Amino acid sequence: MEPHWIYYWRVTDATGKRYTTRHRATEEDIRAQQPTARAFERIDSGKLWINGVPARAHNTSFFSPPQHMRKQTTPPIFERGSGWHRNGATPPGTPAAVQALRDAALPCVVYPMRLKGQRRPIAELLNLTPVAGALIVNDDFTKPNWTAFLYQVPDMAIVTMSMHEIDVTRARGGFRQISGIEWGEKAMARWQQTWFCAPNVEAARGVLSKMATSA
């Protein structure tokens, strides 16, 4: 089984007008008709297919993704309340899957440390109202990439925030520092983002105050 990647593409028609293809295609196929086409970067733009079948229908653990994908350097610990969640351990959409998500979730408050890629001063973070929720980190079927989701509690039916191609750079107790890619509206722009996650506002402000003092 030879794996290949298909994408949406930005192409130019005969009049010079640029547009995004409505269907995904491999690079080999698109270059035959559109030599100047470029892959359109957006959430879920690339899908791994094997012999004409989406990779989710196969066991894809033996196939390597493109080199630009970020590897997760922090070893995941799949324990109750750790935030790490293992996709595929339970049938999707079932009560067991929902319960597994709730069991894995890490309750926390999140401070986005960047605004459209620009790092916020610590003083600004101290005055920022964090977003409360339940943190879930999983591969979202994009190994070795990992994705971070902040769910609304208690039902965990709505994702409040998300970050892609993430790396959990620090993990200690109920604290997490996560770096990755944040997408703008309609996935037309992307920038670096860092989340500072803490068990509660008081604990977060204590750490941020120390950071401000040492800065």
Residues 6+ apart with CB under 8 A from 171: 74, 177
pLDDT for 3 beyond 60:
no
Is the distance from CB of 166 to CB of 194 less than 8 angstroms? no
Domain ranges of the chain: 3-57, 95-214
Indicate if the pLDDT at residue 103 is higher than 80: yes
How buried is residue 126: exposed, middle or buried, by Cβ count under 10 Å (0-12/13-18/19+)? middle
* Measured distance CA(192)–CA(35) in Å, rounded: 30
- 43 band by pLDDT with thresholds 50, 70 and 90: very low
Q: How far apart, in whole angstroms, are the C-alpha atoms of residue 13 and residue 17?
A: 6
Contact 165, 180 (CB under 8 A): yes
Residues 6+ apart with CB under 8 A from 155: none
Q: Place 58 in a pLDDT band, splitting at 50, 70 and 90.
A: very low
Q: Residue 142: its pLDDT value, please?
A: 59
Cα 17 to its chain centre, rounded Å, is 32
At residue 67, the pLDDT reads 39
Q: How far is CA 24 from CA 7, 29, 42, in A?
A: 5, 10, 12
Span 28-43, mean pLDDT?
69
Residues 126 and 54 sit within 8 Å (Cβ to Cβ): no
d(CA 158, CA 151): 6
Domain covering 95-214 in this structure, CATH number: 2.30.29
Whether pTM exceeds 0.85: no
Q: Is the per-residue pLDDT at 57 higher than 60? A: no
Q: Which residues pair with residue 112 across a beta bridge?
A: 195
